[in-house]
Amino acid sequence: MPLPVTDTRQAFRPLSGEIVGLLRALSAEDWERPTVAGSWRVRDVVAHLLDTALRRLSFHRDRSMPPVSSAGSLVDLINDLNATWVHAARRLSPRALTDLYAQAGAQLADFVESLPLDGDALFPVSWAGDAQSALWFDIGREFTEVWHHGAQIRDAVGAGPFPDPRWLRAVLEIALRVLPHAYRDMPGSHDVSVAIAITGRAPGEWALSRAGGGWDISEGRPASPAATATLTDETAWRLLFNAVPLDDARSLVRVDGDAALARPLLQARSVIV
């Protein structure tokens, strides 16, 4: 069946509350621990969470858009926004960052809870190849941002997975929508399909099928897949959010059948990189 709408609006508040609770319990040493987010330490990821919450409130809720140069790519712009904020935030204490994020996270939850699911997004979900996105998808994209950065913090300090696996299931439902775009250059006959089986606390099965000139993704297992990729939910989020090297991904994802059909999955990213 086609992928259903994933409504994440009511999950923002408990998710940000869980993140704040963990931050308040961290030691000074924990704030300096490295993360899977490149060179960012825990404190840098927290600063980025604060930044993205404030950006959403400013750009979307308040319709206050800063002047943006047309020079350079979207990736360059995002990287510059991220880097300048994180650099400036290094003068803030862990307590100040936590208090600010608690306030911004609560306001973000207030805002998304007030939004309808239908309508057009302020910004298209570019990693899915969209020129225009539904509002629920944009809200869901924001949820995946909060969740995966929170997961990076938990991973760095040894806190384990988030307690509610429904959050991860929602993240996967949204993030897997990158796959038709990731497979856009993969040829195949009209009836070829790839099965994706995710195991763990947030399990599920999806079918990626060639349709017309492109690919479609749906829930459930295809009848006769040309390839089947099996991976855990932990591997899935790390793969889709650029937290595992490609060589490691090859060893963490079991592929049965035509291995070439799994190659775009291993390279798919549900973030702007």
DSSP states of 192-236 as a string?
Answer: -EEEEEEESSS-EEEEEEEETTEEEEEES--SS-SEEEEEEHHHH
Domain 178-267 grouped into CATH 2.40.50.100:
no
CATH of 9-163, one of 1.10.287.1260, 3.30.390.30, 1.20.120.450, 1.20.1280.260: 1.20.120.450
Q: What is the pLDDT of residue 221?
A: 94
Q: Which tens digit of pLDDT belongs to each residue from 147-180? A: 999 999 999 999 999 999 999 999 999 999 999 9
Closest by Cα among 87, 84, 109 to 18 = 109
Question: How many residues in total does the chain contain?
Answer: 273
Instruction: List the domain boundaries for the chain.
Output: 9-163, 178-267
Q: Using pLDDT thresholds of 50, 70 and 90, give the confidence band for residue 78.
A: confident
Is 9-163's fold the same as 178-267's?
Answer: no
Question: What average pLDDT is seen over the chain?
Answer: 94
> pTM, whole model, 2 decimals?
0.95
Asked whether residue 267 carries a pLDDT value surpassing 60, the answer given is yes
